[in-house]
């Protein structure tokens, strides 16, 4: 959008004469020009924050609406493309580029936007896994192919266990903060109404940045808390496990393989699990790991679902799964 035209829309919105379509365009592009010194400051009137709040709500609602229409016949594809253009939120603030992935009809790619009512395991297309906390929202593409980076967008809290790929960094966008990794395990807490974004590293190394400003490099048992309003950064040493206890709550595993479930159990119970046969590894099932369940209770459930048996050496903390 041309900056002069954007400022024109901003003035119309400020004096109450903007049409519904003009307001929609303004909401979509507001933060593109928010940092520009030529753009009028609406912070005193409260309308600047009002627009930002509407941006957050409108973009997710539009994503959900367009995804629901993805498979529906639509003879007027040019209208869909206009809706897509209006829905895309582009943020260029202090050098930060934020592009929520909208479904692309021609490219044949569908963005997955998931908001859960319970903790849930999500398998990303690159083999990475994410445990998404209840009430959080994770937005990610159906494939990372053709992209220089692997980018996802988070509102809420999630624990990421990322597959190493030196040529394609993994980036988690949480508002103005970008967390970049190559292969590691870390937790991000970034609820929309909270003042702080907190990143805690369990394994590996991550870099945090707000635009072009690096907030810090984190290694295991280090944490950064970033205040969204004051832009203050606090870095400290912590026991990462203390900030990951929420993962021990009830956890839904939907259509996962036995191998994927085994990785969760290894992390939850601090054991090593070997699966002797490929047919057992790739079997899929759905279950919920309940808080307080013992390892043996969970193993029995997995075996019942998948015609398998297990042996458990408690002293060595080793489990072997095999077919019946």
pLDDT score at 28: 56
Phi and psi of 309, rounded to 5°? -130, 165
Give per-residue pLDDT as tens, 305-320: 899 999 999 999 999 9
pLDDT score at 267: 86
The CA-based dihedral angle spanning residues 88, 140, 236, 135, taken in that order and rounded to the nearest 10 degrees: 90
The whole-model pTM stands at 0.59
pLDDT score at 258: 94
The answer to whether the beta carbons of residues 208 and 227 sit under 8 Å apart is no
- The Cα 243–Cα 265 span in angstroms is 18
Strand partners, 173: 153, 178
Give per-residue pLDDT as tens, 94-112: 223 333 333 332 233 445 5
Give me the domains of the chain, ranges plus CATH numbers: 3-98 (no CATH), 113-243 (2.60.120.1440), 250-323 (3.55.50.30)
pLDDT score at 308: 94
- The Cα 187–Cα 207 span in angstroms is 13
Strand partners, 200: 187, 223
**Could you say which residues of the chain have pLDDT below 50?**
1, 31-45, 56, 58-60, 62-64, 66-67, 70-71, 75-110
pLDDT score at 27: 60
Name the residue with tokens 């220089």: 148
Phi and psi of 10, rounded to 5°? -65, -40
- Tell me the pairing of strands 137-141 and 150-161: antiparallel
pLDDT score at 314: 92
Strand partners, 225: 198, 234
Listing DSSP states for 181-234 in one string gives ESS-EEEEEE-TTSSEEEEEEEES-EEEEETTEEEEEE-TTEEEEEETTT--EE
Name the residue with tokens 């990322």: 162
């Amino acid at each position: 959008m041309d900056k002069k035209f954007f400022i024109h829309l901003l003035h119309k919105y400020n004096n109450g004469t903007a049409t519904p379509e003009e307001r929609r365009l303004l909401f979509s592009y507001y933060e593109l020009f928010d940092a520009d010194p030529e753009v009028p400051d609406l912070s005193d009137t409260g309308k600047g924050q009002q627009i930002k709040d509407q941006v957050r709500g409108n973009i997710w609602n539009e994503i959900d609406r367009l995804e629901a229409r993805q498979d529906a016949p639509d003879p007027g594809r040019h209208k869909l493309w206009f809706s897509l253009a209006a829905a895309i939120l582009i943020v260029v603030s202090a050098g930060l580029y934020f592009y929520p992935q909208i479904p692309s009809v021609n490219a044949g790619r569908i963005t997955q936007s998931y908001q859960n009512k319970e903790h849930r395991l999500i398998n990303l297309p690159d083999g990475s896994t994410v445990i998404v906390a209840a009430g959080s929202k994770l937005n990610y593409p159906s494939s990372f192919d053709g992209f220089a980076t692997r980018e996802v967008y988070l509102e809420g809290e999630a624990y990421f266990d990322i597959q190493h790929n030196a040529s394609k960094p993994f980036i988690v966008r949480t508002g103005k903060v970008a967390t970049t990794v190559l292969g590691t395990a870390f937790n991000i807490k970034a609820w929309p109404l909270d003042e702080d974004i907190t990143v805690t590293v369990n394994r590996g190394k991550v870099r945090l940045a707000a635009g072009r400003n690096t907030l810090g490099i984190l290694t295991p048992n280090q944490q950064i808390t970033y205040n969204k309003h004051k832009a203050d950064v606090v870095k400290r040493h912590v026991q990462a496990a203390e900030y990951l206890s929420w993962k021990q709550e009830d956890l839904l595993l939907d259509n996962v393989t036995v191998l994927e479930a085994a990785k969760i159990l290894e992390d939850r119970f601090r054991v090593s699990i070997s699966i002797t046969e490929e047919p057992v590894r790739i079997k899929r099932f759905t279950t919920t790991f309940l808080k307080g369940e013992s390892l043996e209770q969970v193993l029995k459930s997995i075996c019942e679902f998948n015609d398998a048996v297990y042996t458990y050496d408690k002293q060595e903390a080793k489990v072997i799964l095999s077919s019946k």
